[in-house]
Amino acid sequence: MSPADTPAVVVFAPSPLLTVTIEDRAGRPDIHVHAGGQGVWQTRMISTLGVPVVLCAALGGEPGDVLGHLLEGEGVDLRTVRVQTRNGGYVHDRRDGERESVAEAPGGPLDRHEQDELYELVLQEGLRHGTAILAGPNADQVIPASLYRRLATDLGANGCRVAADLSGERLDAVLAGCPAVLKVSHEELIADERADSDDPATLVAAMTRLREEGAGTVIVSRAAEPALALPADAEPGDDGAVLELHVPPLEPAETRGAGDSMTAGVVASLVRGDPIREALRTGAACGALNVVRRGLGTGGEAAIRALAERVELVEWKG
């Protein structure tokens, strides 16, 4: 990273979504149109914390045209690759309080030339700014898992701190690059057959194996239960190596996106130079605030700071 480049988080969001949500407002439909998808939600939370973000994404078709305008209004540094295929999207109806899917369209696959352009863009920006989050696509067919392996390996080998919030083949692929931060949900560990139950001891064993396979700090979100974290500076098996992240009790309004916000908060905190345990508190606070708001990846920095002071890191006793 050259002296002229500002430390920032580069977010790899291969296939942003165009989201349409119908809410109720005084008995009338209230329509909201936003950019969405894992990488976009992470970008939004990082920006909330005052850390510069470079968002690298593929945009195509009519949804891509609209997404380009929406993302430019997010206050981030947008870097795009124009592609022939269309971005995906969804229409959800929340007028009855529950989220009902009206229509969902997956993003189309990128051809090899588009994949090469996207790889080159993320590599360039990651090396310039020093930290990158590899977020997943909204559909498996968008890009192959091998692109994640190449990015994680090449970025990491050239001094870029890599964080990943992935599962399945993409999780297996990114481990080749020894990511500094790896976040995964307990449901994903079970679906990937890395754990056979949600028993904490089983999840901790899976976290230890992820560390052995190359991951640094490993975080496992557990829905309403406290997340588990194995910091990079802790040795698996030592007393107090695994931490439970206890957040203040809050009434949820929208449970989706808490894990994405947690990942974003941890990485943003590390970019600011905070130690890993402080980063875990910030990440847990971001996830907790996300569930009390209807906008995914949203929140106020002052509220996050207040919640982070109340997050307790408790040694897990196996």
- Identify the pLDDT of residue 85: 95
175 plus 185 within the same structural domain: no
259 plus 191 within the same structural domain: yes
Q: What number of residues does the chain have?
A: 318
State whether residue 206 is helix, strand or coil: helix
Domain count, the chain: 2
144 plus 203 within the same structural domain: no
d(CA 240, CA 314): 8
Read off the pTM.
0.92
d(CA 78, CA 237): 42
Q: What stretches of the chain adopt beta strand conformation (E)?
A: 8-13, 17-25, 28-36, 53-59, 77-82, 89-93, 100-105, 130-135, 161-165, 181-185, 217-222, 225-230, 243-246, 312-315
- Identify the pLDDT of residue 252: 64
Residue span of the structural domain in which 13 resides: 7-179
Sheet architecture: strand order including 181-185:
77-82, 53-59, 8-13, 130-135, 161-165, 181-185, 217-222, 225-230, 243-246, 312-315
> Is 261 domain-assigned?
yes
> Which of 179, 205, 240 is the endpoint of a domain?
179
58 plus 112 within the same structural domain: yes
Tell me which residue of 119, 125, 183 sits closest to 151, measured CA to CA: 119
Q: Which two tokens stand for residue 113?
A: 């030339």
Q: Confirm if 295 and 261 have CB atoms less than 8 A apart.
A: no
C-alpha radius of gyration, the chain, whole number: 19
Q: Which residues of the chain have pLDDT under 50?
A: 1-4, 297
Tens of pLDDT, residues 252-302: 656 665 889 999 999 999 999 999 999 999 999 999 887 665 555 456 788
d(CA 275, CA 285): 16
